[in-house]
A and B are shown apart, each in its own frame.
Chain A
């Protein structure tokens, strides 16, 4: 009997351990890499804990031409990450907010009034039916003539458009879960549709909105292809900046890893802030 409990305990925690290792291993590796000097980047056998830990990789991100160290020598021509960082911090939250707002309004119309029939909600999905590169070329032509290349607005519009499918469908699911009777009760109380939407429905699906927002935020934060194609200097975002740390001889893994760590901080913060709403989202099914 006690043997069986042991076995089940071991299996459970064993699985948890393996899954956590698989998920966390790359993060740990990147963290360790970001503190390694160049000779250790590709060292064999690999080291988990740097033998000669250094902050050089972080230093060059913000001060590329600094007078100390080998890494600085390598990335002498790179721009400081400050611009890319600020760009990302501007473009991603705005496009996420737009995507969620439009998604919520559209999802409400579709869920409650069947707006657009069967066609509209599915037509929104077409933006995710092709590989993004298929859109890149025609959009490049449009963007050139509209003067949107390498602008913040250009990326904001693009990110809003391509994440709308996710916001709309996720939020629609949550709105569908709000019983119609609750809205009808508010209407009979004398509330207008807009009021019902914002004082009754919206607070009830707050958790769902938070989940959708976090999801869209991460998608936009890590988007690489469009940012690479549609920006060159002025509106460069973090993922593009990461790719810049490479030279004729290969990639500069140290600064790339350091930037990876720095870039993940805002996502961690966003996730932490949203966390308490997320729990509500997962228990949302309890609202009858």
Chain B
């Protein structure tokens, strides 16, 4: 597992331009020895470009890349000893599986017996022995994936880079292969850098997640950190499904006490005053609350004094099996999404009271998009 401090790869102020358009802007990142690091972001955010720069397939326009304190920015990819798994696996279709696996060793002039031994041992670990003699073009997708991984493992790379390797799978198989990947990482214990646009994949697989958007890093953190304490509005809205409710609120002080005020509610925020007052766009703030943190309040029940209650009307009911997604509209017309257990039926137009605890809310600066916490 990842231990902080043992830095394997360091990216320093990396910028990549393609014909004047900036794909990656001033990126700084450390990749730790043995970790499973996920790059997560919408397509075109620069995650694949970053991966290709680590591999040496693209040269950064500015900035440096270090591998164990050695500057490798100018090293050709052949010298870096990095495994790269492509989205479509890029197997050598004109060769057998055995030749595919042996290719990397063969070009490195490894002796024949050694090649044989290493290919066999990797093939055994990934259960590829029965297909070793087949042409790569004859394989099914999941076998192709295993061959692609085996081909990389056999050269014993410093780090494995994986570029959306599960994209070709249909949904059911995807989950299966995801579990398989995680198992492999335990089994082989190698540093893996994984690119995906699928947040579920990133949250399940990653020891740490790098959330990217428009060529820069929004946040680096463990799945929990990224989910519970998103650093920016982008992360907050990108991660989590259904996505976080974001509402504009105003910061006000009355009679010496601090409040967040919206047409529907008032939240006392005395304990966060210091942090909030650092924001430059005051009094305007954005409040974020996760759909699963909103609950339906039963008027008969007694409620704790700090519970914030908002009267609302059901706008749309979206059943999801054991859960429901409710779209509710507050009196001021704000739309909120909430996830509730499907213990009873809801109908559109129904009046109810929704509630949440003030300590659960997140606050963001509307101008910079940064989180305040």
Contact = CB atoms under 8 A, between A and B. Distances in A.
> Is this pair of chains taken from one and the same complex?
yes
Interface of A: 179, 181-182, 184-192, 195, 199-200, 203-204, 287-288
Contacts of B56: 188
Contact of A190 (B55, B78, B87, B90): B78
Given A185-B84, A287-B137, A191 B90 contact: no
A114 to B, nearest CB: 12
Given A188-B82, A204-B94, A181 B88 contact: yes
Interface of B: 55-57, 77-78, 80-84, 86-88, 90-94, 103-104, 107-108, 137, 151, 155
A188 B157 CA distance: 10
Contact of B77 (A187, A203, A288): A187
A197 to B, nearest CB: 13
A52 B56 CA distance: 76
Contacts of A190: 78, 81, 104, 107-108, 155
Given A190-B108, A287-B137, A184 B84 contact: yes
13 contacts: A181-B90, A182-B91, A185-B90, A185-B151, A188-B56, A188-B78, A188-B83, A188-B84, A189-B103, A190-B104, A191-B107, A199-B103, A287-B137
A195 B108 CA distance: 12
Nearest to A185: B90
B48 to A, nearest CB: 11
Contacts of B84: 184-185, 188
Contacts of B155: 189-190
A6 B321 CA distance: 56
A191 B78 CA distance: 6
A179 B108 contact: no
Contacts of B88: 179, 181, 288
B107 A182 contact: no
A191 B103 contact: yes
B321 to A, nearest CB: 36
B110 to A, nearest CB: 10
A187 B78 contact: yes
B78 A182 contact: no
A230 B90 CA distance: 50
B107 A195 contact: yes
Contacts of A200: 92
Contacts of B103: 186, 189, 191, 199
A187 B90 CA distance: 12
Given A190-B108, A191-B103, A182 B82 contact: no
Contacts of A182: 90-93
A203 B104 contact: no
A143 B137 CA distance: 51
A86 B143 CA distance: 53
Given A181-B88, A187-B78, A190-B155, A204 B107 contact: no
Nearest to B155: A189
Given A188-B77, A190-B104, 18 more contacts: A179-B90, A181-B87, A182-B91, A182-B92, A184-B77, A185-B92, A187-B57, A188-B55, A188-B56, A188-B80, A188-B84, A189-B103, A189-B151, A190-B107, A190-B155, A192-B107, A203-B94, A287-B137
A189 B151 CA distance: 9
Contacts of A199: 103
B93 A189 contact: no
User: Which 6 pairs between the two chains have the least Cβ-Cβ distance?
Assistant: A189-B104, A181-B90, A185-B90, A181-B86, A191-B107, A203-B94
A70 B202 CA distance: 90
Contacts of B108: 190
B335 to A, nearest CB: 43
Contacts of B91: 182, 185
Contacts of B80: 188
